[in-house]
Chain A
Amino acid sequence: MSFGSTLSRAIAVDAVPGAALLAGLVALPCLVIALTGSGALVLTATNFLVMLIAVLGISLFSGNSGIISFGNVAFMAIGAQVSATLTLPPAIKTANLPLLPVFLQSIQLDFWSATAAALIVVIIVALASGLALVRMSPTSASIATLGLLIIVNSIIVGAQGFTRGSQAMYGVPKLVGLPMAVGLAVVAIIATRLYRDSVTGIRLRAGRDNDAAARACGIDVPAERLRAWVAGAILSGLAGAMFAHMLTVFSAKSFYFDLTFSIIAMMVVGGMASVTGAVSGAVVITVLIEILRRLENGFSLGGLQVPQIFGLTQVGLSVAILVILYGGQTGLLGFREIDSFLPKSWRRQRALPAAASAQARADDGGDVLSVQKLTKSYGGLVAVSDVSLSVRRGEIVGLIGPNGSGKTTLLGCIAGTHAATSGDIRIGTLSLNGLAPHAIARLGIGRTFQTVRLFANMTVLENVTAALADAERGSGLDALAGRAMDLLAEMGIAELSGHIAGTLAYGQQRRVEIARAVAVSPAFLLLDEPTAGMNDVETGVILATLKRLVAERNIGLLIVDHDMKLIMSLCDRIVVLNKGALIAEGSPDEIQGNKNVQEAYLGRRHARLAGNQA
């Protein structure tokens, strides 16, 4: 395989032009300043670029995972602390850091080696903190990142002798100038942008948009979060090392709440969920400050002399942030990247596949999904009681019952989102008991939800790609996107591929959700009310699609629906639940004639009446 194709497998080729353009738009003015600007302007531009890398560090994690991190400044602190310890002249170290081991006191490294060493420490801390953090709910995780910031700050203050404690770390050599900052910022922008559209980036964003659905697609959301957490930490650590070697002095308090809030403000103003947003936030705030701080010193406007007003910068900046966030709650850019502003002809178009091609995955797993004596209780309430059922591949089984009879809970137990209290779930001989939802999905069980759960801020193509990614590990992004297009064509919605999923009509969303469930190459598909809220035409389309899927892909279908016409015409076999227990099982005809079923649906008296009339 050639280098080029290896590279294109690893990175999101489609994102390259946008990433390069964004990096260029940042780099060019800064290079002009480097060549022609005054000393103060050069410093301003360098500060801006270091802040930009810090913003990208948080954005890489927070933008893609939806978890706001207050903790990345801790990585900046570590980056600054460790790298500066290694670049400080030995004479200053012996005087100021007396507890350092002799070998550390006597060495003096260059910026790159020192930063590399600092980043190793950053990675270790990121892994250790990340392992716990990525398993928490987004809100708890956010608070935990705040805890990390406080812990790292306290350790640096407390480790006086190894560090400077709360005192200023000074004498750091000035090793970061504008040209180096431009280079590193370009790398950071491109890396963050390509990450966003990479396979792992798409999977993480799927988890951000809908955690449960992502797991049902086989995505190991915590693992994806951990990758982004570490990658973001590396960028933050780099920004910290640059900060130290740009200003030559810092102290523990430099990397605390003030800096955290400045960086988060930049990210939120521009739009947290896109790289272009993070970059524009940093640009807008920097430019605003530069204009405001000049106005602050007094100016004349048409003969009117406005005096120096200190505080104008801060007030003006705060007002601007309020106005921007009032105008659009997701910041200037929202979820958009610079690519969406490019002329369409610049963007690569994915060809619509000429014909739909069914490519059922030959599965060597078992042919039967079986549930044995499954019970699920919540405290004293038994939602599912001692239910046994099975679904063969190629078979369509309907699961019906009155509201609250335990249908959705049963599906949840099979898919792993609910832990069964007792009982046994298997594919063939393979036990699914206790497995995480993403692991169950990877074993060949796809599902849709009672209420549509798409990755609302991602395109239809990305929705399906995210789900494919885990079924076909190791495939390049390009190949995955191609397969996703095929699948969309098969479902008859190829023309929707570029649309943002959340903006689609309800019926279309349902079809995307089914396509996404099929993308995990399931042997079995669990569908929870797939036609709820649809008109007859839409229901008809879904019906035909499902029949075709079962026939062409040999999928076993377990379907919950209240539409009896649909259930009766679609299903080979029907299982009826009432109050958590299985009350009947059989062919559609048998079920229609079953007394127990009529009683369950209509009440005993009405059922008798109905029976007498029949």
Chain B
Amino acid sequence: MFRKSLNLGVATLGLAMMLGGPAHAEETFKLGFLGGLTGYLAPYDQPSLDGLTFGVDEINKAGGLQGKYKIELVSRDMRSETAESAVIAQELAGAGVNFLVVPCDVDPAVAAGQISAAAGIPTMSSCASTPTLPGIVGEYMFSNYTADNLQAAALGDYAMKQGYKNAFVMLSKDTPYTQKLPEYFVEVFKKKGGSIAGIIEYKMGQQDFAAEVTKIKGLSPAPDVIMTSAYEPDFPAFIKALRAAGITTPVLGSDGIDSPTTLALGDVAEGVVFTNAGFATEGSALAKFFADYKAAKGKEPETLYVATGYDIVKVLDAAVGASQGKLDGKSLRDAVDGLENVAVATGTMTYKGMNRVPLRTVALNKVTGGARALVELVTPAAADVPAAQ
């Protein structure tokens, strides 16, 4: 009997939840967020939501977007499941959101985006870095995070400026990130006159990089630089094996290795240069964001996804300004698509002429004494960014 009545109670509770939704006043901007707050997307979508929420609270205190439109944030967990992503997108579209933020991975972002785009709701992935995503879904879909081809352009520029002529590239076809980012790098580097000493494939999680290192050691002439977008646990295993073999060739990486693990590697990682979405120099917007966040929450954000999540609110603020207060899907979409040099926490963002993949500030970091040191902050020229494919 106990079990039966418990079930009944839960069911009634569930029913009550389905029926009663909060009422919302006019002049609010309803912002939907659906992300993987549990499951494999949690390390990305959780901090994105954290930053977004922080931004929403901050702007609401100042009266709302453009001082007028308070944001009502509706956030939902899609448990890192593509099918659930579509269901929740449909629910949020039905709830009348003005703008929808979708997960950091392509599959669920596409599944959600197709539904929200069909409903005419501008949609943005909080941190998917695959530059083809907006093209897949269409006119209403935007990216937010530093795209793979953008990081590759920054790395290619940097390699040329260092005078590297001959690059060796290691990639894995296991994920688009580990495959396409190095491929974009190859494209940029060749276009700028560099040559590729070789491309080698690895299997994610393979642990032993002896074969790859032997191949690199056998190259003649030796490459000037090694580029890869490998990350944990592959990158640490690779760099240890590489340095243990006595190869001192400089190594370039991407934001996948922007983690405490890399910094804790000690001597083997010393001098590794990698890109990420921003660096908090003194007096910069990012430094201010970190300070504000710390003042409010008592600690600095643990990843940059918090800052890039926050950036979305800044983009929305600029878009509502550009649409002159029109909150309908078409007006908002057009407004975002035309934004130029919006000041955000991580630098600046430009959507105009970028096919809905923003041109962003990219930070080049160098591992120095177990910490990140800024090499430079760059915004690659739009023409240098390889076409998304």
Where the two chains meet, the residues of A that have a C-beta atom closer than 8 Å to any C-beta of B are 38-40, 43-44, 47, 157-158, 160, 165-168, 170-171, 243, 246-251, 253-254, 258, 290-291, 293-297, 299, 301, 308, 310-311, 313-314
Q: In the complex, A227→B293 CA distance in Å?
A: 62
Find out whether the CB atom of A249 lies under 8 angstroms from the CB atom of B175: no
Residues of B within 8 A of A258 (CB): 39-40, 80-81
Knowing A44-B87, A168-B107, A297-B76 touch, does A291 contact B136 (C-beta < 8 A)? no
Q: Which of A40, A166, A297, A308 has a CB less than 8 Å from the CB of B87?
A: A40
Please tell me if B352 contacts chain A, counting CB pairs below 8 Å: no
Please tell me if B382 contacts chain A, counting CB pairs below 8 Å: no
Residues of B within 8 A of A157 (CB): 173-174
The minimal Cβ–Cβ distance linking A168 to chain B, given in whole angstroms, is 5
Q: Which of A38, A165, A253, A293 has a CB less than 8 Å from the CB of B77?
A: A293
User: Which residues B64-102 have CB closer than 8 A to chain A?
Assistant: 75-77, 79-84, 86-88, 90-91, 93-94
The minimal Cβ–Cβ distance linking A513 to chain B, given in whole angstroms, is 39
User: Which residues B192-210 have CB closer than 8 A to chain A?
Assistant: none
User: Which residues B1-43 have CB closer than 8 A to chain A?
Assistant: 10-11, 13-14, 16-18, 37-40
- Looking across the interface, which residue of chain B has its beta carbon closest to that of A243? B83
Most chain A Cβ neighbours within 10 Å, of B14, B176, B180: B14
Contact mask for chain B residues 90-132; partner A; CB cutoff 8 A; 1 contact, 0 none: 1101100000000000110011001000000000000000100
Residues of A within 8 A of B76 (CB): 293, 297
Please tell me if B179 contacts chain A, counting CB pairs below 8 Å: yes
- Looking across the interface, which residue of chain B has its beta carbon closest to that of A290? B14
Find out whether the CB atom of B38 lies under 8 angstroms from the CB atom of A314: yes
- Looking across the interface, which residue of chain A has its beta carbon closest to that of B172? A166
Q: In the complex, A314→B40 CA distance in Å?
A: 13
Find out whether the CB atom of A168 lies under 8 angstroms from the CB atom of B110: yes
Find out whether the CB atom of B17 lies under 8 angstroms from the CB atom of A295: yes
Q: In the complex, A246→B17 CA distance in Å?
A: 28
The minimal Cβ–Cβ distance linking A94 to chain B, given in whole angstroms, is 13
Find out whether the CB atom of B107 lies under 8 angstroms from the CB atom of A250: yes
Knowing A43-B87, A157-B174 touch, does A299 contact B13 (C-beta < 8 A)? yes
Find out whether the CB atom of A308 lies under 8 angstroms from the CB atom of B75: yes
**The 7 nearest A-B residue pairs measured at CB:** A291-B14, A40-B90, A310-B37, A294-B17, A40-B91, A249-B110, A168-B106
Find out whether the CB atom of B87 lies under 8 angstroms from the CB atom of A168: no
Q: Which of B16, B79, B83, B136 has a CB less than 8 Å from the CB of A47?
A: B83
The minimal Cβ–Cβ distance linking B243 to chain A, given in whole angstroms, is 29
Most chain A Cβ neighbours within 10 Å, of B81, B83, B110, B114: B83
Knowing A251-B107, A291-B10, A297-B76 touch, does A170 contact B83 (C-beta < 8 A)? no
Find out whether the CB atom of B77 lies under 8 angstroms from the CB atom of A311: yes
Find out whether the CB atom of B87 lies under 8 angstroms from the CB atom of A167: no
Residues of B within 8 A of A253 (CB): 107
Most chain A Cβ neighbours within 10 Å, of B86, B88, B176: B86
19 contacts between A and B (CB under 8 A): A38-B90, A38-B91, A160-B173, A166-B175, A166-B176, A167-B106, A167-B176, A168-B110, A168-B176, A171-B136, A249-B111, A258-B39, A258-B81, A295-B14, A295-B17, A308-B75, A310-B38, A311-B38, A314-B39
Q: In the complex, A251→B105 CA distance in Å?
A: 11
Find out whether the CB atom of A40 lies under 8 angstroms from the CB atom of B173: no
Find out whether the CB atom of A299 lies under 8 angstroms from the CB atom of B17: yes
Knowing A297-B17, A308-B75 touch, does A47 contact B174 (C-beta < 8 A)? no
Q: In the complex, A171→B133 CA distance in Å?
A: 12
Find out whether the CB atom of A294 lies under 8 angstroms from the CB atom of B38: no
Q: In the complex, A170→B111 CA distance in Å?
A: 9
Q: In the complex, A249→B13 CA distance in Å?
A: 34
Knowing A157-B174, A249-B111, A311-B37 touch, does A166 contact B179 (C-beta < 8 A)? yes
Residues of A within 8 A of B80 (CB): 258
Find out whether the CB atom of A43 lies under 8 angstroms from the CB atom of B90: yes
Q: In the complex, A331→B180 CA distance in Å?
A: 45
The minimal Cβ–Cβ distance linking B330 to chain A, given in whole angstroms, is 21
The minimal Cβ–Cβ distance linking A41 to chain B, given in whole angstroms, is 9
Residues of B within 8 A of A311 (CB): 37-38, 77
Knowing A47-B83, A171-B136 touch, does A40 contact B88 (C-beta < 8 A)? yes
The minimal Cβ–Cβ distance linking A286 to chain B, given in whole angstroms, is 11
Find out whether the CB atom of B106 lies under 8 angstroms from the CB atom of A313: no
Find out whether the CB atom of B94 lies under 8 angstroms from the CB atom of A47: no
Residues of B within 8 A of A308 (CB): 75
Find out whether the CB atom of A310 lies under 8 angstroms from the CB atom of B173: no
Residues of A within 8 A of B38 (CB): 310-311, 313-314
Knowing A40-B91, A157-B173, A167-B106 touch, does A295 contact B13 (C-beta < 8 A)? yes
Find out whether the CB atom of A38 lies under 8 angstroms from the CB atom of B94: yes
Contact mask for chain B residues 213-255; partner A; CB cutoff 8 A; 1 contact, 0 none: 0000000000000000000000000000000000000000000
- Looking across the interface, which residue of chain A has its beta carbon closest to that of B74? A297
The minimal Cβ–Cβ distance linking A411 to chain B, given in whole angstroms, is 50
The minimal Cβ–Cβ distance linking B205 to chain A, given in whole angstroms, is 12
Most chain B Cβ neighbours within 10 Å, of A168, A170, A253: A168
Residues of B within 8 A of A251 (CB): 106-107
Residues of B within 8 A of A294 (CB): 14, 17-18
Find out whether the CB atom of B94 lies under 8 angstroms from the CB atom of A39: yes
The minimal Cβ–Cβ distance linking B238 to chain A, given in whole angstroms, is 19
Residues of A within 8 A of B11 (CB): 291
